[in-house]
Structure 1
Amino acid sequence: MGRPRGFDEAAVVRSAAELFATRSYDGISMDELVTHLGVHRNSLYKTFGSKRGLYQAALTWSLEHEVAPLIGRLQRSGDIAAALRVALTEPGAETGLNLLLLAAVERAPVDGEVAEQLDKVLAAFDEAALQAADANLPAGDADRTADGAKADLAFALTATILGLRLRARAAGSGAGDGGATDIRRAGAALAHHLTQS
């Protein structure tokens, strides 16, 4: 019978997700992971197999525990303005969306498993946005089918949320809360405009 594990695997995965949400995968060394997580290198390798295994566990955890609940709240938001407020002000959304963005840009192009995960999550994001967009369609839009207009609005909403998160991340690197404040203001301005249209 093996020796019991000397660390809380769930806590390590959460902490790894936080770290991977701040810097690129290739920019984090195994030594930094060991130091940040407070777990011996051999224990990490024994549990996760590799740095990629730990990354995969962290990404999966983040998508399930940070991004999926946000998507659920978007689905229940009622309209695009409310969806923007939810996505840009919900506690915990920042880390999950940051990791999603980094994974999409740097890991998905070279890792099929990550690409497959993100395809599913982005499809769920679009579906949630589709439900929010339904409330913002003008009645009797003769130029486009309702389904086409909803799909366009949903895609625009998903792109807006992720784009604003990306802008906040870029502005926030070393700048305190400036990026988060900027996206809240931008989101509020856009939500106000949408409710006035």
Structure 2
Amino acid sequence: MGRPRSFDEDEVVRAAVTLFSERAYDGVSVDDLVSHLGVHRNSLYKTFGSKRGLYLIALRRHLADDVRPLLDALAGASDAAAALRLVTSADLGLLLIAVAERAPVDEEVAAEVKAALAAVDQAIAGALGVSLDLAAALTAAALGIILRRNPDNAATALARCLDPLT
């Protein structure tokens, strides 16, 4: 009979979200996971199957804990400025890294990312009463603003430009 688990799986997954958000999948080794998460290598493999297995669980946790609340908040957005502020102020770090790093090479990650971004588009379209195409453009603009690290000023300026469109 094996030893009982000596770690809280939920805490490990949350810590993995942070680690993968900060350093990306390729920037995190199994040794990094072991040392940063406080999990023995054997326990890591037994519980999560692999580094990729833990990454997928962490990505899904990020989507549930950070993207899902954003979708709920977007339902109350009254205009493009409010929607942009909500998206640019959300913690979307792991989602953005997944878009750039893993989605192009991992079909399962690509499917998760595509579904999450489509849900954001749908939430914006529903809240603002605009087409999905315009909502997707707003989502793309908001993500670009995040990547440029100028969320407040850029989101406000863009919203003013888009206001007649919405």
TM-score under structure 1 normalisation? Answer: 0.77
Aligned partner of 2:117 in structure 1 is 122
| Pair 1:158-2:139 in alignment | yes
Aligned partner of 2:20 in structure 1 is 20
The structural deviation recorded for 1:44 is 0.8
The structural deviation recorded for 1:27 is 1.4
Matches within 5 A, 1:32-181: 32-89=32-89, 93-94=90-91, 97-134=92-129, 150-168=131-149
Larger Rg: 1
Residues 71-102 of structure 1: CA distance to partner in whole angstroms, max 9, x if unpaired? 2211221221111122223xxx22xx111111
Aligned partner of 1:188 in structure 2 is 156
The structural deviation recorded for 1:132 is 3.3
The structural deviation recorded for 1:196 is 7.6
Q: Which moved more, 1:46-55 or 1:112-121?
A: 112-121
Q: What residue identity is the alignment partner of 2:63?
A: L
- RMSD after superposition: 1.8
Conserved 8 A contact 1:98-1:165: no
Whole-angstrom CA distance in 2 between matches of 1:158 and 1:109 = 19
Q: What residue identity is the alignment partner of 2:62?
A: S
Question: Alpha carbons of 1:15 and 1:131: their partners in 2 closer, same or farther (altered >3 Å)?
Answer: same
Q: What residue identity is the alignment partner of 2:114?
A: D
Whole-angstrom CA distance in 1 between matches of 2:10 and 2:77 = 30
The structural deviation recorded for 1:192 is 4.2
Whole-angstrom CA distance in 1 between matches of 2:104 and 2:131 = 29
- Percentage of pairs with the same residue: 56
Whole-angstrom CA distance in 2 between matches of 1:119 and 1:87 = 16
Matched pairs, number: 165
Conserved 8 A contact 2:121-2:136: yes
5+ residue gaps in structure 1?
Answer: 135-148, 169-181
Conserved 8 A contact 1:132-1:154: no
Whole-angstrom CA distance in 2 between matches of 1:126 and 1:65 = 18
The structural deviation recorded for 1:111 is 1.2
5+ residue gaps in structure 2?
Answer: none
